[in-house]
Amino acid sequence: MRYIRPLSIEDAVGTLASSARTAAILAGGSDLLVRMKGGFVEPDLIVDIKAVPGLGDVQETAEGFRIGAAVPSAVLGENTALKKAWPGVVEAARLIGSKQVQGRCTIVGNLCNASPAADSVPAMVAAGAKAVIVGPSGRRTIPVETVPAGPGRTTLAKGEIIEAILLDKRPPHAGDAYLRFIPRTEMDIAVVSAGVNLTLDEKGAVKTARVALGAAAPTVLLVEEAAEVLVGSKLDEATLERLAKVCSGACRPIDDKRGTIEFRRKVAGVLARRAAVTAYQRAGGK
């Protein structure tokens, strides 16, 4: 096994692209190291990206926020401007693991681990986040929801690295929220989850909406029909009932020891409804 700690994103990409055997990227390591210790993976090459300039920074720009691939979730929770603009995204990131894990885990690692139950991913998708990818062919930017291809699989090509996550600058009267259901009070994997992002017009009606569900299908679901239900409303009871019904119907979950298909469908609707109310209130709705 080789361990490489590149000092530039170009070196990291080149090292990964030229590797003829299995390779893994190390940012926080909260997934990779556990899987290695459990004997599930044994990469021939580990590329530690924490020394790459910019990957450990959260930058606020005129366009919004740029979150480097190696920024721990704990750091996101300490960024006042980010918490104010995107509280749902930060809430989701702060649900990954324990207090100790928070100091290491990253939302990019959570995304690339490609678990259907990842906490930060539905919140990022609802927020319309984009991933900046660097690879042998250059740099490209894609919606976060197009990164996971299935459980444990991504659409990234050989040698490609997610360099950063981009979040747009918040317009006035906007809010987001993320909720999940777990059997325990903390430190558990989501049985189902929901992220909602709303902007309101000057009269308090929903102008734009995005609704995402986690642990409800092989990859995160962006439920466009649910967004259409919300647009133009002030989240009256009838609208919330339709939202819950649409989200329940959109689910394609599995039966396992943590939850049945019927249970996951029901709870998906409940969480979407509750998250929508929270996002609406954060946007200034009454």
Provide the 10 A C-beta neighbour count for residue 277.
16
Q: Kindly state the tokens that stand for 11.
A: 């070196």
Confidence of residue 18 (pLDDT cuts 50, 70, 90): very high
Q: What is the pLDDT of residues 127-167, one digit of tens each?
A: 999 999 999 999 999 999 999 999 999 999 999 999 999 99
Among 122, 274, 283, 140, residue whose Cα is nearest residue 198: 283
Tell me, what's the pLDDT at 254? 87
Is the per-residue pLDDT at 42 higher than 90?
yes
Local structure of 125: helix, strand or coil:
helix
Among 98, 94, 91, residue whose Cα is nearest residue 34: 98
- Dihedral angle, C-alpha 32, 38, 41, 43, nearest 10 °: 70
Is the per-residue pLDDT at 27 higher than 70?
yes
Equal CATH topology for 2-48+56-168 and 174-282: no
Is the per-residue pLDDT at 187 higher than 70?
no
Task: Count CA atoms closer than 13 A to 33's CA, side-chain side.
Answer: 9
E strand or H helix at 177? strand 174-181
Average pLDDT value over all residues in the chain: 95
Tell me, what's the pLDDT at 14? 95
Q: Where are the domains of the chain?
A: 2-48+56-168, 174-282
Class of domain 2-48+56-168: alpha beta
Query: Is the Cβ–Cβ distance between 77 and 102 less than 8 Å?
Result: yes
Q: What is the pLDDT of residues 66-98, one digit of tens each?
A: 999 999 999 999 999 999 999 999 999 999 988
What value does the mean pLDDT take over residues 34-56? Answer: 94
Confidence of residue 186 (pLDDT cuts 50, 70, 90): low
In angstroms, the Cα distances linking 196 to 231, 247, 248, 271 are 12, 12, 15, 10
**Angle subtended by helix axes 237-250 and 261-282, to nearest 10:** 140
**In terms of CATH, what superfamily is 174-282?**
CO dehydrogenase flavoprotein, C-terminal domain (3.30.390.50)
Q: What is the pLDDT of residues 209-258, one digit of tens each?
A: 999 999 999 999 999 999 999 999 999 999 999 999 999 999 998 888 88
